[in-house]
Amino acid sequence: MKKVVLAYSGGLDTSVILKWLQDEYQCEVVTFTADLGQGEELEPARQKAEQMGVKEIFIDDLRDEFVRDYVFPMFRANAVYEGVYLLGTSIARPLIAKRQIEIAKMVGADAVAHGATGKGNDQVRFELGYYALKPDIKVIAPWREWDLNSRTKLCGYAEAKGIPVPDSKRGEAPYSTDANLLHISYEGNALEDPWVEPDESMFTRSVSPEAAPDKPTYVEIEFKNGDPVAIDGKELGPADLLTKLNQLGGDNGIGRIDIVESRFVGMKSRGVYETPGGTVLLHAHRALESICLDRGEAHLKDELMPKYAELIYNGFWFSPDREMLQAAIDATQKSVNGLVRLKLYKGNVIVVGRKSAASLYDDKVASFEDDGGAYDQKDAAGFIKLQALRLRTLATGRQLIDLGDA
């Protein structure tokens, strides 16, 4: 191989991978660093890459694309994995893979490389994305090849190769983290015992519900075709809107979950996540759908959602089945236009209002008062009898069998 595009964060692991690729494969390495709103200064990654002799360095601001083309489509589906996880890490991987392949084509690279371990889901997500977009690409996954399988060995290699090792990276880290504009995750080491509560000092995007303000925060979110477009009457771009929701949710102790999830590679894994803005957005979107979607399409969406969420979790964003489900989901969103009012209070998202010009809610029909003939209650008798026909037939038949046995 002559040239490899490496997904590069500038941290210790990917810096070691960069040097290892240069030594092991004797190839030119191109680095790619994606700004997905992780909240870190990315310029040091450029400086480290330059110090290690990298000539082609890509640092791309993908925040708006990430939210507009990946997060928002996923939230149109109300996607939740195993009942609680809002897929913050999962949804970032296909965009990174896509851009990495674009760069590989641009610079004429033979291969791409990533820093995901051989135990996790991310190796699958990255590589399924690579192969879907460039079937003949070569993939290098150093964690599946080298013997640097401990923090001590990793630091030793770094020191031998002249790679600076921060004091904070020596010894075993208390946990690993991964962040983007949608969420931040915490996994491993101190969190591996699912009985032990995480330390409060770990959290970075939200206050604890106990420390949240005693006064609730009210917020209004406007939607167009299923996507949020404004907060409290102010139109915002995709990344700015999610950033604002993160701030509002985090300030009110919203969006923390502590789960044991089923990894695609087969093991159970304990993870702690902060998704303040996404949690607010999910409640708001479902509230608006409750008045804008017909019962049939709403219920069918809920039936399709677990499969859609599983496809994203497992790395099949670019699969035809995910795209097929997306087309069906998006067809329902044409009428999801309107306004939702929420009360944020001590970890809770409480829907207190929703309205839409496309609303299917009719107060005259729903009212317990005189509806002026909009609904004839006598019609319910025939409806119930028809619904009960098979149950009555079944019960009668079983009674005859019971009598015969007697």
Q: pLDDT of 218-243, one tens digit each? A: 999 999 999 999 999 999 999 999 99
What would the mean pLDDT of 111-122 be, rounded to a whole number?
A: 94
pLDDT score of 168 = 67
Given pLDDT bands bounded at 50, 70 and 90, which one contains residue 189?
confident
What token pair was written down for 101?
A: 């392949």
Q: CA 220, CA 223: separation in Å to the nearest integer?
A: 10
Q: Which residue has the higher pLDDT, 205 or 368?
A: 205
pLDDT of 167 > 70? The answer is no
CA proximity to 7, closest of 113, 99, 147, 123: 113
Phi and psi of 338, rounded to 5°? 155, -160
Residues in the chain: 406
274 pLDDT more than 80: yes
Q: Which of 101, 104, 157 is nearest to 132 (CA)?
A: 101
Contact 213, 251 (CB under 8 A): yes
Structure tokens at 161: 């190769």
Mean pLDDT of the chain: 94
Is the pLDDT score of 100 beyond 80? yes
Q: Quick one: pLDDT at residue 172? A: 65
Tens digit of pLDDT for each residue in 380-400?
Answer: 999 999 999 999 999 999 887
pLDDT confidence band for 41 (50 / 70 / 90): confident
Question: Would you state the pLDDT for residue 152?
Answer: 84
Asked if pLDDT for residue 143 goes beyond 70, the answer is: yes
* CA atoms of 344 and 351, how far apart (whole Å): 9
Smallest CA-to-CA distance from 175 within 135, 204, 215, 207 is with 204
Hey, how many other C-beta atoms are within 10 angstroms of the C-beta on 320?
9
What pLDDT score does 171 carry?
66
Mean pLDDT of 179-193: 94
Domains of the chain are 3-67+92-173 (3.40.50.620), 177-353 (3.90.1260.10)
Question: Which band of pLDDT confidence, cut at 50, 70 and 90, is reported for residue 377?
Answer: confident
What would the mean pLDDT of 360-371 be, rounded to a whole number?
A: 79
Sequence-distant (6+) residues with CB within 8 A of 363 are: none
Least confident segment among 170-179, 255-264, 290-299, 377-386: 170-179
pTM check: above 0.75: yes
Please report, for residues 73, 207, 216, the alpha-carbon distance to residue 246 in angstroms, rounded to integers and kept in the order given.
18, 12, 16
Q: How confident is the model at residue 151 (pLDDT cuts 50, 70, 90)?
A: confident
Least confident of 44-48, 73-77, 166-170, 339-343: 166-170
Give percent of the chain above pLDDT 70.
98
Picking from 14-28, 113-127, 358-372, which range would have the lowest pLDDT averaged per residue?
358-372
In the chain the first and final C-alpha atoms are separated, in Å, by: 82
Q: Which residues are catalytic, by number?
A: 13, 93, 122, 176
Residue 188 · residue 172 · CB < 8 Å: no
> Looking at residue 406, what is its pLDDT?
64
